Copies of this chain bind each other. A is one copy, B any other.
């Protein structure tokens, strides 16, 4: 038996999300079918976590174990990709220690949220960002974001209906960056944390945009956080601007080097 961690990119537009479900196509289902064809055996595909409908990934990680695979991990990548639709690709594979589990062994995850901030929309990248036509003050958003760094109870940024044992999480990094482009700005908000509550990134982004558009001051973010009540908070940013860019694991999990030369991390 050999264990592998696969790094996966996908365009989530046409999918009901990562997880296998009865009423919509899923990324997990496509991967399972493709791996079974490539490896010639039944497989369980364990993602690092679910992504919702419309959410993208450049660095989702899934763990699998195979009884019959004899070739190098790079060959596995090419073999699986032959059976995947264009919207899903395995970027790399690394052999990992026995029992490796993409969800249980994850140390942290990093998401990127992209906002297209201009009076007119951008047709070329429409499916990859949230079009926000009112001007956004990036410095105010940066100040608001800084209030969320560290270990807090993020209950105010959790969408109800999917409760976790605890709503305490640690945010390690939360940069808000702006790049001028084509008469507007692409604003990218990245969040790296040890874990996320349901819709946490999209709720934080929605709140930061309330600050950026001038409806609330940056210090309002702290009062929302401290309220620990979702109701006091603002809109949920749409899924299509969200992308899972990296999942980190302890180096000791890996038996083979990272062949994805330009990987983010």
Binding site for B on A (CB under 8 A): 9-11, 56, 58, 77-78, 81, 86-92, 119-124, 126, 128, 180-185, 243, 260-264
Contact = CB atoms under 8 A, between A and B. Distances in A.
Given A9-B123, A10-B124, A91-B120, 9 more contacts: A11-B124, A56-B124, A58-B124, A78-B119, A81-B121, A180-B262, A182-B263, A183-B260, A183-B263
A208 to B, nearest CB: 22
Contacts of A81: 120-121
16 contacts: A9-B124, A10-B124, A11-B126, A77-B120, A81-B120, A86-B121, A86-B123, A86-B126, A89-B121, A89-B123, A124-B128, A180-B262, A181-B262, A182-B263, A182-B264, A183-B260
A87 B183 contact: no
A182 B87 CA distance: 16
A183 B122 contact: no
> How many copies of the chain does the oligomer comprise?
2
A9 B120 CA distance: 10
A83 B183 CA distance: 21
A124 B86 CA distance: 9
Contact of A123 (B77, B87, B92): B87
9 nearest interchain CB pairs? A183-B260, A183-B262, A11-B123, A87-B123, A180-B262, A89-B120, A89-B123, A11-B124, A9-B123
Contacts of A181: 262
Contact of A9 (B10, B58, B122, B128): B122
A142 to B, nearest CB: 21
Nearest to A84: B123
